[in-house]
Amino acid sequence: MATVEERAESGGRGVSEAMLRGFFREMLLIRRFEEKVEDRFRAGELPGFLHVAIGQEATATGVCAALAREDVIASTHRAHGHAIAKGTPVERIMAELYGKVEGCSKGYGGSMHLYDVEVGNLGANAVVGGGLPGIVGAALAFKMRGEKRVAVAFFGDGATNTGTFHESMNLAQLWTVPAIFVLENNGWAESTPASQQLPLPVEELGKRAAAYGMKLIEADGQDVEAVYLATLAAREHALAGKGPVLLHLRTHRLTGHFVGDPQVYRDKDELKEERETKDPIRLLGARLEIGEDEFSTIDGELTAEVEAAVEFAKAGTDPKPEDALKYVYA
């Protein structure tokens, strides 16, 4: 029988249908959540700045499904899916976006600073590449304490050009810590395509692991099952004391960089085609043969859940100005 790693790397099948249906549901919840926050942002109800990860739901869901609750993650500026998949209830994330005390960061953070230490989310990061060093630190702590846990950093292709990426990869490998570096390679850094920010073809970005002698695992980021299996393999490798893994997931950003981005820099026909052929929810729905009736039942439940989260958030408590410096550590 093939090992988990071989199955992941060969795109082999081995996950139950019930589990795949769970993945479908969670990806659709993330999609509906993001569509709703986009809508509320445009209506002027949400302060700050907003990035959605529509098209990238399979990376959040597949990775987090393979993690244990005690494993930790650090997220990016595109953070809602990671937070949902790691286990924070949608109403607490929604309340955070509305700046309410009931939010997962007590209303102090907003979209790019979603924290929930109880479920192992060490936080989103507005600074590109900002999550990686802390994840190396967490992984080092797990190693020194002899704890069977992994620390996982999500980041994009653009982040692989930052100093923190290279420093983190270097030290993680040197110290052989149980870290997983999840590269969500959507081929864009804001409006800059891969060809203008990377010195190698976008599909070959995983080669950067070799510079550090690091284990590389790659999977199709639009196939949630492949992502799940690849993450299981990465986790197994890290927990066996073999050192960190670069998990390269090729994915697709099916919307703008930020909500309101007119995407004038993007070929409209290519985007249309990507939407039709690369949507991870559609792909899994077709594979599971989820028909219209079943889809609308699931969709109705999730839409109601998101709607309830908005009501919860709107009824939340505004933080007091005199508490502005509470929870400030540095």
Q: In the complex, which residues of this chain contact ligand TPP (CB under 6 A)?
A: 76-78, 126-128, 155-159, 162, 186, 188-190, 253, 257
Stretch that binds Mg ion, among 30-38, 45-53, 180-188, 267-275 (CB under 5 A): 180-188
According to the binding rule CB under 5 A, does residue 96 interact with Mg ion? no
What's the CA gap between 84 and 87, in Å, rounded? 5
Closest CA to 257 of 278, 271, 247: 271
Identity of the residue, 153 or 313, whose beta carbon is nearer to ligand TPP in the bound complex: 153
- In whole angstroms, the minimum distance from the beta carbon of 264 to ligand TPP comes to 17
Identity of the residue, 80 or 257, whose beta carbon is nearer to ligand TPP in the bound complex: 257
Give the tokens for residue 325: 């410096």
Instruction: Classify 255 as helix, strand or coil.
Output: coil
From the list ligand TPP, Mg ion, none, partner contacted by residue 134 (C-beta under 5 to 8 A by kind): none
From the list Mg ion, ligand TPP, none, partner contacted by residue 77 (C-beta under 5 to 8 A by kind): ligand TPP
User: For residue 260, how many other CB atoms are within 10 A of its CB?
Assistant: 11
According to the binding rule CB under 5 A, does residue 251 interact with Mg ion? no
Cβ 116 vs Cβ 86: under 8 Å = yes
From the list ligand TPP, Mg ion, none, partner contacted by residue 26 (C-beta under 5 to 8 A by kind): none
- In whole angstroms, the minimum distance from the beta carbon of 18 to ligand TPP comes to 31
Sign, Cα dihedral of 280, 284, 289, 294: negative
- In whole angstroms, the minimum distance from the beta carbon of 125 to ligand TPP comes to 8
According to the binding rule CB under 5 A, does residue 129 interact with Mg ion? no
- In whole angstroms, the minimum distance from the beta carbon of 179 to ligand TPP comes to 18
> What torsion do the CA atoms of 12, 236, 280, 303 make, to the nearest 10 degrees?
130
From the list Mg ion, ligand TPP, none, partner contacted by residue 273 (C-beta under 5 to 8 A by kind): none
What's the CA gap between 190 and 156, in Å, rounded? 11
Instruction: Classify 7 as helix, strand or coil.
Output: helix
Count of residues of this chain found to bind Mg ion when the rule CB under 5 A is applied: 5
- In whole angstroms, the minimum distance from the beta carbon of 165 to ligand TPP comes to 9
- In whole angstroms, the minimum distance from the beta carbon of 245 to ligand TPP comes to 19
According to the binding rule CB under 5 A, does residue 274 interact with Mg ion? no
- Residue 171's identity, in one-letter code, is L
Among 186, 222, 231, 251, binds Mg ion (CB under 5 A): 186
- In whole angstroms, the minimum distance from the beta carbon of 81 to ligand TPP comes to 11
Closest CA to 288 of 21, 1, 9: 21
What's the CA gap between 182 and 256, in Å, rounded? 21
What's the CA gap between 260 and 42, in Å, rounded? 8
- Count how many residues are written for the chain: 330
Residues near Mg ion (CB under 5 A): 156-158, 186, 188
